[in-house]
Amino acid sequence: MKMYLISDNIDTLTGMRLAGVDGVVVHERNELREAIEDAMNDSTVGIILLTEKFGREFPDLIDEIKLERTMPLLIEIPDRHGTGRKKDFITSYVNEAIGLKL
């Protein structure tokens, strides 16, 4: 099984290609849906990497696909600008989950 990147910028795609990960650059919602469907129909793809920008711009689309399919796995990754999450996002998840402040 291999990974496949769907990115919103060429820099992230270039970096991932250097690591041996193939992919595509898309910008519009319909292009994103088409790219995800193409990757999901490829039986050799086990993990689809998406830049976090797609998760912020099209959360309904990403969540819909995550709920409908178990394979391949969709993972959001930061792009060259870094993550859009705050520094203590893991701690805040733990605090919400267990109800204790760490």
CATH number of the domain to which 47 belongs: 3.40.50.10580
Distance CA 78, CA 96 (A): 23
Q: What is the pLDDT of residue 24?
A: 92
Residue-wise pLDDT for 27-76, tens only, equals 888 888 898 889 888 888 888 888 888 878 888 888 888 778 778 888 88
- Percent of the chain clearing pLDDT 90 (strictly above): 8
Give the chain's domain count: 1
Q: What is the pLDDT of residue 25?
A: 92
H helix runs in 7-88, sequence order? 10-18, 29-41, 52-57, 59-68
The whole domain housing 65 covers: 2-98
